[in-house]
Chains A and B, each alone.
Chain A
């Protein structure tokens, strides 16, 4: 199985800040990576697929980059609704494992 490791586990930031979350795969997955946002009591929401493609309807302040084993999710100009937990998921091979999550909190 491919293991996905996110860092940091949690981060504090203020409205208007720029935040970067990292996801590392235990082996190369090309660009087969997705990012999700999850708010308390809600289902995850797909933000980015294929490492850098923005899902329809997702604000452009979200961006993704990376390939191989190292990936980043960047949120620019943080908005109040962005405070949530973010998960990466590899889509390269079976089983499609998730990272452990990064909690984005208000400073």
Chain B
């Protein structure tokens, strides 16, 4: 049974870089069958797709965040990671990692992590 688990600091200072890791168990990020993605949700607001990555390292980022986002994959650890630079209070959100259900960039997300709240505050 596939499981995803986000980890990382719950508090980040303004202007610094948010860093999160998603550890995958019961499956492999090296699979050629899926993209792996990040989604966020500010408190009380809607979901926002951040970007995703393929096992080969190909990445796609939401244009609204592209200048600040980096997603990477570590197949040896079965993990993929998110970095978001120059954060502000507007980046405060629950961050989810998830799996796209096929080897395409925009397909539905069929497995999700439980989410982790990241607060941007000094």
Contact = CB atoms under 8 A, between A and B. Distances in A.
A66 B104 CA distance: 22
Contacts, number: 62
Nearest to A95: B62
A55 B101 CA distance: 11
B112 A1 contact: no
**Secondary structure type dominating chain B contacts:** loop
Interface stretch (A15-23, A67-75, A98-106): A98-106
B40 to A, nearest CB: 11
A42 B41 CA distance: 11
A83 interface: no
B32 to A, nearest CB: 19
B74 interface: no
Contacts of A100: 46
A12 interface: no
From B96, B108, B113, name the one whose CB has the most chain A CB atoms within 10 angstroms. Answer: B108
Nearest to B108: A34
Given A91-B106, A94-B106, A43 B101 contact: no
B115 A43 contact: yes
6 A-B pairs with the lowest CB-CB distances in the bound complex, closest first: A43-B112, A34-B108, A96-B106, A98-B47, A49-B108, A95-B62
Interface of A: 1, 32, 34, 36, 42-46, 49, 55, 87, 89-101
